[in-house]
Structure 1
């Protein structure tokens, strides 16, 4: 053995003291340390994100398709297999933007799932979600976008704040009114008109930027807490109905579903107000919790609405008993392709890259 140098003990003591000081300088608990890892891309949102009815299905309980826009984006960037690769999809049909919105699942809940899987972290570059269509707004009888759309488009159902539903119409069996062309139903409803509908239906004035910001902020804040380097891309809704002033359209023989000019005026105004409120909310959230981007689908989907037939980005209503099948009024395969293109552009600008 080599003989011990007299200074060796002092050197070891100094080294141990330095290590102890470094340890004492660390945070008191691991919870104070920033999260690590994370997937490059995380998808959240409602049925317009998940893609119900589009085969093949990834998770039936959420109507989550393997060909939804998140899957297309992941494929375009070469992110590998969902969950096992560099991306994860937690979108689920029926989800609302916020909790306590009358739905069993919210985007905030989905963020919790992603956190549990350690999918959100500093490595996350893009988080997308479409949401708001299932949220209640002001407590009216017809208070969610999707409910209003299905009620108005179902043939024989008078809808909107300008309509008056008469007692005779209210006494008719639902299965009969659903088979009547909307023109006939309007005539029936005009007989012995009942209470004014103004207070029962969601109106454009209800969809304010302040209310929209309040609905979107909890999700954006929760994402930002875990994925500080991510761009949050809020994906809008494509056109479902044609612009106001259009003639309208209907299912075969006018049965099952129809859109008349009055319904189009109401629905187009409602969806336009939603789009304006969401743009304003995203601008505010980008200012206070950015980067937050808006993916505009209303503009590029002009001319590709429900009345455009095979050129539409959304599926026509398909009757199932007294209601519509789940993929009715939702993005079609071609619609998902177009939506994915718009999302890819934002994801690329946000720094999502092929490895």
Structure 2
């Protein structure tokens, strides 16, 4: 049963909530209205069917323990979908996030490093789905990979103009993705998750090869990408979770306050320039607040009910 269909009977409960994706032009008209009144949080309900879609910033490569469904997605048991599923006490939880995924992998099969393929991520949705999180877009056009090369201080000068143009195009991809989600899961509430600050916007540090001046251009591209995610979410009728705003001061140069790992591959901690477990908790916290209107009881690790977890076998 969808969240909406349960609301009427639960208002007295404690209030809290490889084919490619076809890309519409960025100027296409928005739908008549959002999937729901986005200014009103969902109340606490029981029996939420939750599906998580996304790339490595949602999957959490190398954070604590990796799941093996499939191994090639490098999906952590302590990523933000797992924390959110735990804190919401969902009835069913399907996490098909996969490292390296693009928006094309929502509708097409994805080839992994071990040669296996995963099913399209949208296959995890159904008419019974109540809640969807979507965290991707940075791998489209190779944007994230290019940004990391730009910060290492050794690459050729970055083509910032091209990167910003590509980042703006992501809005159309996200809008199409949200509309595809709404078509398959018409009663679901959809949240598009933005990317946190990875690199500093003021100054630099030993973990970063580029100068502070050069990082300004990199930060500008990252900001353009997040703006595209927001525009795509709103045009498609979804809510947007602005992680750029709340992650200020938690970039790779923030030392003990960093939500993002540095350039070293650290098994159990995180992949290079990817969120650590504290960054995943931060995303889950913002999502929980958006869904419920309340703060979560934050836990050190994610422990969703094993009976509620539906694994993705690819």
For the criterion TM > 0.5, the same-fold answer is yes
**CA shift digits 1:207-231 (9 cap, x unpaired):** 33xx233211332222212211111
4+ runs of 1 displaced by more than 6 Å?
100-103, 105-108
Structure-2 residue corresponding to 1:5:
none
CA RMSD in angstroms comes to 3.1
SS in 2 for 1:92: coil
Q: Is the 8 A contact 2:259 2:275 kept in 1?
A: yes
Query: Relative to total residues, which structure has the larger helix share, 1 or 2?
Result: 1
2:145 — aligned with what? 147
- 1:230 and 2:188 are equivalent in the alignment: yes
1:194-249, Cα deviation, whole Å (9 max, x unpaired): xxxx7xx73324433xx233211332222212211111100000001112xx2211
Q: Secondary structure at the match of 2:104?
A: coil
Which structure 2 residue ranges, 5 or more long, are not aligned? 1-46, 294-304, 309-314
Tell me the residue number matched to 1:240.
198
Distance 1:272 1:127, change over 3 A: same
**Contact 1:98–1:218, Cα closer than 8 Å, also in 2:** no
Q: How far apart are the structure 1 equivalents of 2:184 and 2:58?
A: 21
**Residue 287 of structure 2 aligns with which residue?**
343
Secondary structure, aligned partner of 1:151: helix
Distance 2:88 2:282 in 1: 16
State the match for 1:41 in structure 2: 50
Indicate the structure (1 or 2) with the bigger Cα radius of gyration. Answer: 1
Q: Which residue of 2 aligns with 1:203?
A: 163
- 2:143 and 2:258 map into 1 onto residues whose CA distance is 19
Quote the Cα distance in structure 1 between the aligned partners of 2:190 and 2:234.
12
Answer yes or no: is 1:111 the counterpart of 2:122. Answer: yes
| CA separation of 1:316 and 1:89: change in aligned 2, threshold 3 A | same
Q: 1:104 to 1:326 in 2, by over 3 A?
A: farther
Task: Report the CA distance between 1:326 and its aligned residue.
Answer: 7.3
How far apart are the structure 1 equivalents of 2:63 and 2:255?
A: 18
Paired residue for 1:249? Answer: 205
Verify: 1:62 aligned to 2:73, yes or no.
yes
1:329 pairs, out of 273, 283, 290, with 273
Sort the Cα spacing of 1:56 and 1:345 in 2 relative to 1 into closer, same or farther, 3 A: same
TM-score, normalising length from structure 1?
A: 0.61
- Which runs of structure 2 are paired with 1:167-316 in the superposition (5 Å)? 202-208=162-168, 211-243=169-201, 246-251=202-207, 257-286=208-237, 292-316=238-262
Change (3 A) 1:329 1:133: same
1:133 aligns with 2:89: no
Where 1:58 maps in the other structure, the secondary structure is coil
Write the distance in 2 (CA, Å) between the matches of 1:75 and 1:314: 22
Q: CA distance change for structure 1 residues 88 and 103 in 2, over 3 Å: closer, same or farther?
A: closer
Answer whether contact 2:49 2:92 (CA < 8 A) is retained. Answer: yes
Aligned in 2, Cα 1:226/1:102: closer, same or farther, shift over 3 Å? closer
Give the Cα–Cα distance (whole angstroms) in 2 for the partners of residues 249 and 101 of structure 1. Answer: 40
Match of 1:91 in 2: 97
Report if aligned partners of 1:39, 1:88 keep a CA contact under 8 Å in 2. no
